[in-house]
Amino acid sequence: MKQKGAIDRDLIKKVLDGNSSAFEAIISNTKGLVIQIIYKMVRNHEDRKDLAQEVYLKVYDKLDGFKFNSKLSTWIATITYNTCLNYLKKKKIPILDIDKNEEKELWEKISINTFCYSDNQTEAYIFKKERSQILTLAIEKLPPLYKTLITLYHNKELSYSEITDITGLPEGTVKNYLYRARKKLKENLSLNYKKEEL
Amino acid sequence: MKIQHLCDKDIQEYIFDTSNCSSDIIEHINSCEVCKKVSESYLLLSGELKSQPEPVLDFNLTKLVLDRLTLPKKEPIYNYLLSFIIIMSIGITFFTIYIFRDVFSNIFSANITILNYFIVSITILISLFLGFDMYRSYYKKINMLKY
C-alpha cells in the first residue's frame, strides 16, 4: 500500500513536470476501474467513449489538487462516478429505476422455502447453461447504481470503505444496496429459469 | 440459537460481512443444512460475479486522451519570424523618432497648445481601449482552451 502510494506520488510529480508518459502510465493503471464504472452506468457506446476521455481530462486538470487522502485509483474512480452521475442527471436517466410495487413484493418474499426452491433451480440452471452469459444478462437488467456497486465489490474487489469513498454513499446504504442487488440478481436468474421451462 | 430459518439478509451478512455477523447466525448456518445450502449458492454467485469478463475497449483510450492533452506546438521558424518582426518594429519606431527628433521636440517643448494635449489624450484613450480589448480577448481564448 505504502509502496503503491510512493509510486502514485512519483507518477503525479512527473506528470506535473510535463512528462506525458507518466500520465500514460496512470491511464493504463486505472483504466480498468474507470471503464468498469462507465460501462455499468452508461449504455450508449459513443457516450461511454466521450465520458472516458472526459474523466482523464478532468484528472489531468485537477491532478495538482490531489491531496493523497486516498489512493489515486480511488480518487480517479470518484471523478468517474461523479461524471457518470452528472451525465445520467443531464439525460434524466434514473440511477435506481425500480418498480416500487415489484420491489416491495420481492423484499417481502423472504419465505425460506420459496427462496430455497428457486435457489436450487437457479443453481441447476446456472450449471446447465453458460453461467457467465446468463449472469451478464442478469446484471444488465439491474439499475445503473446496483450494477456499479456489484462490479466494484465483486469484480474489482474493493472494500466497503473504498466504495463509500467513491460513491459518497454511507456504508450502511452501500451494504443495503448490495444486498438488494444480489437478491435482484437471484430473482432475475429464477425468472430466466422459469421462461426456459415454459 | 435461532429456531427458525435465517432470512436472506442474515445469510448474505454471513457470507459477505462475516466480521459484523452475530454468533447466532454463524451457529445456525453451521447446524442447518437448508441455510447452509442457501449460503453456498451465494458463494457460487459471488464466484461467478468475480469471474465476469472485463469490458473490452474498441478504441485506444490512452491515445485519444493524450492527443487532446497535447496542445499544438508553434513551429520554431514562426517563433523566429515573430521575434524578428517585433524587433524590427521597435527598431523602426526608434529610428523614426531619431530622424524626426527636431519635429517632436518642437511639438512638446516650444508650442504646447490645447490641440497637442487633445491629440495626446485621444492617443492614450485609444491605447487604453485597445489594451483592454486585447486583454479581454486573450482571457476569452484561454477559457475556451480549458475543458
Cβ of B49 and A155 within 8 Å?
Answer: yes
Confidence of residue B91 (pLDDT cuts 50, 70, 90): very high
Q: Which of B34, B52, B62 sits opposite A112 (nearest CB)?
A: B34
Q: Which chain B residues are closer than 8 Å to A112 by Cβ? A: 5-7, 34-35, 38
Cβ of B38 and A20 within 8 Å?
Answer: no
Cβ of B64 and A150 within 8 Å?
Answer: no
Exposure string for A170-183, b = 16+ CB within 10 A, e = fewer? eeeebbebbbbbbb
- Whether the CB of A77 is below 8 Å from some CB of chain B: the reply is no
Q: Which chain B residues are closer than 8 Å to A139 by Cβ? A: 49, 52
pLDDT tens, A19-51?
A: 888 999 999 999 999 999 999 999 998 999 999
pLDDT tens, A99-155?
A: 555 444 444 443 333 344 455 666 655 555 566 777 888 888 889 999 999 999 999
Q: Stretch B68-93: mean pLDDT, rounded?
A: 76
DSSP letters, B4-43, are: SPPPHHHHHHHHH-GGG--HHHHHHHHH-HHHHHHHHHHH
Average per-residue pLDDT in chain A?
81
- Whether the CB of A35 is below 8 Å from some CB of chain B: the reply is yes
Q: Which of A57, A60, A185 sits opposite B45 (nearest CB)?
A: A185
Residue bearing the bigger pLDDT, B44 or A191: B44
Average per-residue pLDDT in chain B?
82
Residue B111 Cα, gap to closest chain A Cα (Å)? 59
In angstroms, the CA A154 to CA B52 distance is: 9
In angstroms, the CA A80 to CA B61 distance is: 14
Q: Which of B12, B53, B64 sits opposite A179 (nearest CB)?
A: B12
Residue A24 Cα, gap to closest chain B Cα (Å)? 6
Q: Which chain B residues are closer than 8 Å to A151 by Cβ? A: 52
Place of cell 497648445: B113
The fraction of chain A above a pLDDT of 90, given in percent, is: 48
Q: Which of B8, B70, B147 sits opposite A110 (nearest CB)?
A: B8
**Cell for B70?**
497535447
pLDDT surpasses 90 at A59: yes
- Whether the CB of A154 is below 8 Å from some CB of chain B: the reply is yes
Amino acid at B134: M
Residue bearing the bigger pLDDT, A4 or A158: A158
Residue A1 Cα, gap to closest chain B Cα (Å)? 22
How distant is the alpha carbon of residue B40 from its chain centre?
Answer: 48
* Weakest mean pLDDT among A50-64, A184-198, B32-46, B90-104: A184-198
Contact status, residue B145 vs residue A61, Cβ threshold 8 Å: no
Cβ of A23 and B37 within 8 Å?
Answer: no
In angstroms, the CA A170 to CA A151 distance is: 18
- What is the pLDDT, as a whole number, of residue A122? 62
Residue B105 Cα, gap to closest chain A Cα (Å)? 52
For an interface test with B, the pick among A56, A80, A174 (most B C-beta atoms closer than 10 Å) comes out as: A56
Alpha-carbon dihedral sign for residues B9, B11, B17, B19: positive
pLDDT surpasses 50 at B147: no
Confidence of residue B73 (pLDDT cuts 50, 70, 90): very low
In angstroms, the CA B63 to CA B67 distance is: 6
Cβ of A61 and B147 within 8 Å?
Answer: yes
Domains assigned to chain A: 2-90 (1.10.1740.10), 100-197 (1.10.10.10)
Alpha-carbon dihedral sign for residues A98, B40, A138, B20: positive
Surface of A (108-137) touching B: CB under 8 A: 110, 112, 115-116, 119-120, 122-123, 126, 131-132, 135-136
Residue A58 Cα, gap to closest chain B Cα (Å)? 8
